[in-house]
Structure 1
Amino acid sequence: MSARLNGVQPYALGLFRIVVGLLFACHGAASLFGVLGGAAGTDGGTVDAGAWPGWYAAVIQLVGGVLVLLGLGTRAAAFIASGSMAYAYFKVHQPGALWPMQNGGEASAMFCWALLLLVFTGSGAFGLDRLFTRRSSTTESVERTPVTA
């Protein structure tokens, strides 16, 4: 059973990455464009362009979420996105109360840890990272192979 589960692990990780990236990008799109219910705390509106920290967080959410969703630069995008969620939790939510259930910071905490996990695991299956790594490692192996006549 364990061997079977280990065999599908890259696919489960790839699906996890896709879902986390999609949900994260949706938060950014809601804040920037007012779609999907709009920005939190604005009654369906958007955050003001350039407003600190909301607008910058929304840009990180949208761009980082799309990159994570596609599996393109996953580790770097997830690292920056995870840091932005840690900032959101400790600067916005945690001063209101200690526990996420009390301060409304569950989403920030979950995104922070889910994205941090992707920093260490990489993109898994279905990611563009794998496509580029496979292509570059194939190119390197072809270049290293001595040609004999």
Structure 2
Amino acid sequence: MTGRLDRAQPYVLGLFRIVVGLLFACHGAASLFGVLGGAAGTGGTVETGAWPSWYAAVIQLVGGGLVLLGLGTRVAALIASGSMAYAYFKVHQPSALWPLENGGEPSALFCWAFLLLVFTGSGAFGLDRLFARRSAAGDRPAAERQTPVAA
């Protein structure tokens, strides 16, 4: 049983990355463009250049999109994780200690989910893997890249 689960790990990790990236990008799109309920569920948008909300929304949209695609996953996830740690400790934690009390559960969960992706990488279905395969194939000598023709 463990062997089957181990073989599925890159695919489940890839699906996890896609879902987390999509949800994070949706937060950014809501804040920047007023879609999906808008900024903080008000239907509005954050003011351009407003610190830290506008910058957070840009990180959410761009970082979430990169993680969703599996492109530069580790770097994008590191920046996204840091932004969520900042959000938790500067916005939520001063009002109460526990995430359940201070409304910081999404920030805490996103922070840890992205930190996990920093260490695991993109898993299956990511553009990172596609580009890694292409560059590895390009590094091989031309004789090894040619496939033999069946007679």
Residue 11 (1) aligns with residue 40 (2): no
Distance in 2 (alpha carbons) for counterparts of 1:90 and 1:142: 52
Q: Specify the code of the residue in structure 2 equivalent to 1:88.
A: A
Instruction: Number of aligned residue pairs: give it.
Output: 144
Q: SS at the partner of 2:140?
A: helix
Distance in 1 (alpha carbons) for counterparts of 2:115 and 2:122: 12
Q: SS at the partner of 1:20?
A: helix
Residue of structure 1 in register with 2:47 after alignment:
48
- Note the 1:2-81 alignment, pairs <5 A: 2-40=2-40, 43-81=42-80
Residue of structure 1 in register with 2:99 after alignment:
100
Report the TM-score when normalising by structure 2: 0.93
Give unmatched runs, 5+ long, in structure 1: none
Distance in 2 (alpha carbons) for counterparts of 1:136 and 1:144: 16
Report the TM-score when normalising by structure 1: 0.94
Distance in 2 (alpha carbons) for counterparts of 1:134 and 1:144: 17
Q: Specify the code of the residue in structure 1 equivalent to 2:86.
A: Y
Residue of structure 2 in register with 1:117 after alignment:
116
Give unmatched runs, 5+ long, in structure 2: 145-151
The runs of at least 4 aligned residues of structure 1 exceeding 4 Å deviation read none
Cα-Cα RMSD: 1.3
Q: Specify the code of the residue in structure 2 equivalent to 1:127.
A: G
Distance in 2 (alpha carbons) for counterparts of 1:78 and 1:142: 34
Residue of structure 1 in register with 2:147 after alignment:
none
Deviation for aligned residue 1:44:
1.3
Deviation string, structure 1 residues 29-72 (Cα, Å, up to 9, x no partner): 0000000001116x210000000000000000000000000000
Deviation for aligned residue 1:144:
10
